[in-house]
Amino acid sequence: MHCSRCQSPVPEVAHFCHHCGQDLVSGDERGRRRFAVQPDEPVASFALISSIMPREAGRHPQTYRTAFTITLVVALVAAIFGALPIAVLIAAFAIPIVYITYLYDVNLWEDAPLAVTGLAFGLTGLVAALFTALWTGLLPLTTTLRGPNGDLLGGPQWGTFLILAILVPVVGEAIRQVGPVLLASRPAFDDLMDGVTFGVVSGVAYACFDTLVRHWALLTGGLVAPQPAQFASLVFLEGFVKPLVMGTATGLAVAEFSGLGKGYDGFTPRYFGGVGLAVGTNVLYATGIYLLGYVGSPNVALPLQAMWGLLILGGLIIRLRTVLQTGLMEGALEAAAKAEQPVDAEQGFCVRCEMPLLPGSAFCSACGVSMRARAKAPVLAATAATPTAAGDAPPPEPDEGQTVVPVDESDVEEEK
Ligand SMILES: [Zn+2]
Ligand SMILES: [Zn+2]
């Protein structure tokens, strides 16, 4: 039997083509396609974990889901009872901490944790803190638009609007791109999955320090008279919606930088399109939050702001899943057409369904999961292959004393 999409020979019993990931049983049902990162979910879905944690779809998705839920509930309870320093701290650090735990879980930094956290989290965070301190210092911004009785303090102002909804999102996105792009242009981290992940790290780092600086007064102010709805909404938006909007938007753009197959694509028109989309969604988000703040009473404005944030986040998640799906499927088709060994050829057993894999599999022929969505192999297992790993890939920079072994590349180079 031959695959209808890439024409390569496949076993009669295969459910998915192990070269290009085509569903051989139900054919290509557009719109209801299975997500190659997590085949039991459709591509068009709001599933957060498998979108922002694509490697092994977050090895323990339930753990991450629980961690997000618990921190959200604790932060909301703290906010409702007026313990704002605690609420703001949790809101700022919850998602970054959970996400860095995920990086550790899937060994994404390939034993170079300092380079990865330093560039993707530290650099973005530091510059974000400086930038936010700068513009909040120049602008007499109040953390809330309303006085103690819930009445509005004046109406929208052009100057504030231009800084808050245009300047900050544009400069902010530029800041968020630097670290992940530097990382994604290293040979050890040039895969699409890495690009997405570094983008998300950078986005949540920016959001974290943006929250800390903007709400410094609340953070150091001690207990305040509870204004449950207002504080809960603030914590929900700043601690959970904002980091995820920034993270997915930046992840999308860096994914286009990493591109499809081997190596990274670099500064292509698609990358600049991705950056444009990221800037655009951040402008939309900030505009909506700012203007909706002036709608009627807080009881109307706050739910509207939350809904606006979730709407934008939902759109971003769908877009990110589409980019991942396209990257995995098209990259594999290209590799199959050139009859080259897939970038992440894997032997042995599928980590997801534990069925045996065919030689040179890019996808599991039983469950359809992409091999590129697996966790990175531990470095020790690949040390034997290092001498042949030089090839066209520049050697890892000697600074920082790291011992990066480009696992994926070494496997490919050996085949030549
Ligand atoms: Zn195929
Ligand atoms: Zn499988």
What does the alpha-carbon distance between residue 185 and residue 173 come to, in Å, rounded to a whole number?
Answer: 18
By CB atoms closer than 10 A (0-12, 13-18, 19+), residue 15 is middle
User: Residue 39 CA: which ligand is closest?
Assistant: 2
User: Residue 351 CA: which ligand is closest?
Assistant: 2
Q: Residue 43 Cα, ligand 1 centroid: separation in angstroms?
A: 19
Residues 212 and 328 in one domain: yes
Radius of gyration (C-alpha) of the chain in whole angstroms: 23
Inside any domain, residue 216: yes
Residues 132 and 232 in one domain: yes
Q: Residue 345 Cα, ligand 2 centroid: separation in angstroms?
A: 14
Name which residue leads in pLDDT, 408 or 271.
271
Quick one: which of 64, 46, 44 has its CA closest to 56?
64
Residues 220 and 101 in one domain: yes
pLDDT tens digits, residue range 315-326? 999 999 999 998
Residues 121 and 183 in one domain: yes
**CA distances (Å), origin 63, targets 18, 69, 191, 288, 332:** 30, 10, 25, 32, 31
Inside any domain, residue 37: no
Residues 151 and 271 in one domain: yes
What does the alpha-carbon distance between residue 102 and residue 124 come to, in Å, rounded to a whole number?
Answer: 19
Inside any domain, residue 141: yes
Mean pLDDT of the chain: 81
Inside any domain, residue 350: no
Residue carrying the six token digits 């800037």: 279
How far from chain centre, in Å, is Cα 252? 7
pLDDT tens digits, residue range 300-359? 888 899 899 999 999 999 999 999 998 888 888 888 887 766 555 556 888 888 888 888
Q: Residue 371 Cα, ligand 2 centroid: separation in angstroms?
A: 9
Give me the pLDDT at residue 148, please: 52
Confidence of residue 390 (pLDDT cuts 50, 70, 90): very low
Q: Residue 404 Cα, ligand 1 centroid: separation in angstroms?
A: 33
Last residue of one domain, picked from the residues 335, 354, 386: 335
Mean pLDDT of 86-112: 85
Give me the pLDDT at residue 359, please: 84
Q: Residue 362 Cα, ligand 2 centroid: separation in angstroms?
A: 11
Give me the pLDDT at residue 412, please: 40
Inside any domain, residue 15: no
Mean pLDDT of 249-256: 94
Asked if residue 362 lies in contact with residue 371, where contact means CB atoms within 8 angstroms, the answer is: yes
Q: Residue 249 Cα, ligand 1 centroid: separation in angstroms?
A: 31
Q: Residue 192 Cα, ligand 2 centroid: separation in angstroms?
A: 20
Confidence of residue 386 (pLDDT cuts 50, 70, 90): very low
By CB atoms closer than 10 A (0-12, 13-18, 19+), residue 133 is middle
Q: Taking CA 357 as the corner, what is the angle to CA 354 and CA 362, rounded to the nearest 5 degrees?
A: 115
What does the alpha-carbon distance between residue 279 and residue 129 come to, in Å, rounded to a whole number?
Answer: 19
pLDDT above 80 (res 169): yes
pLDDT above 80 (res 26): no
Residues 301 and 387 in one domain: no
Residues 189 and 299 in one domain: yes
Q: Residue 358 Cα, ligand 2 centroid: separation in angstroms?
A: 11
What does the alpha-carbon distance between residue 249 and residue 319 come to, in Å, rounded to a whole number?
Answer: 9
Give me the pLDDT at residue 348, please: 81
Give me the pLDDT at residue 32, please: 57
Domain count, the chain: 2
Inside any domain, residue 73: yes
Q: Residue 88 Cα, ligand 2 centroid: separation in angstroms?
A: 42
Helices marked H in 220-268:
228-236, 242-258
Inside any domain, residue 301: yes
pLDDT above 50 (res 201): yes
Q: Residue 231 Cα, ligand 2 centroid: separation in angstroms?
A: 45
Q: Residue 106 Cα, ligand 2 centroid: separation in angstroms?
A: 18
Give me the pLDDT at residue 27, please: 62
Domain that holds residue 399: 377-415
pLDDT above 70 (res 402): no
pLDDT above 60 (res 95): yes
Mean pLDDT of 182-206: 90
In this prediction the pTM is: 0.83
Q: Residue 5 Cα, ligand 1 centroid: separation in angstroms?
A: 5
Q: Which residues pair with 361 in a beta bridge?
A: 346
Give me the pLDDT at residue 263, please: 77
Last residue of one domain, picked from the residues 335, 350, 365: 335
Q: Residue 42 Cα, ligand 2 centroid: separation in angstroms?
A: 16
Residue carrying the six token digits 């590799």: 335
Residues 401 and 280 in one domain: no
Asked if residue 183 lies in contact with residue 198, where contact means CB atoms within 8 angstroms, the answer is: yes
Helices marked H in 106-238:
113-116, 124-138, 158-162, 168-184, 192-214, 216-219, 228-236
User: Residue 19 CA: which ligand is closest?
Assistant: 1
Q: Residue 44 Cα, ligand 2 centroid: separation in angstroms?
A: 21
Percent of the chain beyond pLDDT 90? 28
Residues with Cβ within 8 Å of 111's Cβ and at least 6 positions away in sequence, in order, are 379, 402, 403, 404, 405
pLDDT tens digits, residue range 41-67? 888 889 888 889 888 766 778 888 898
Give me the pLDDT at residue 40, please: 86
What does the alpha-carbon distance between residue 192 and residue 190 come to, in Å, rounded to a whole number?
Answer: 7
Inside any domain, residue 274: yes
User: Residue 356 CA: which ligand is closest?
Assistant: 2
Residues 321 and 392 in one domain: no
What does the alpha-carbon distance between residue 67 and residue 48 come to, in Å, rounded to a whole number?
Answer: 13
Confidence of residue 260 (pLDDT cuts 50, 70, 90): confident
Residues 172 and 239 in one domain: yes
Give me the pLDDT at residue 392, please: 41
User: Residue 352 CA: which ligand is closest?
Assistant: 2
Name which residue leads in pLDDT, 352 or 257.
257
Last residue of one domain, picked from the residues 304, 335, 366: 335
Residues 300 and 383 in one domain: no
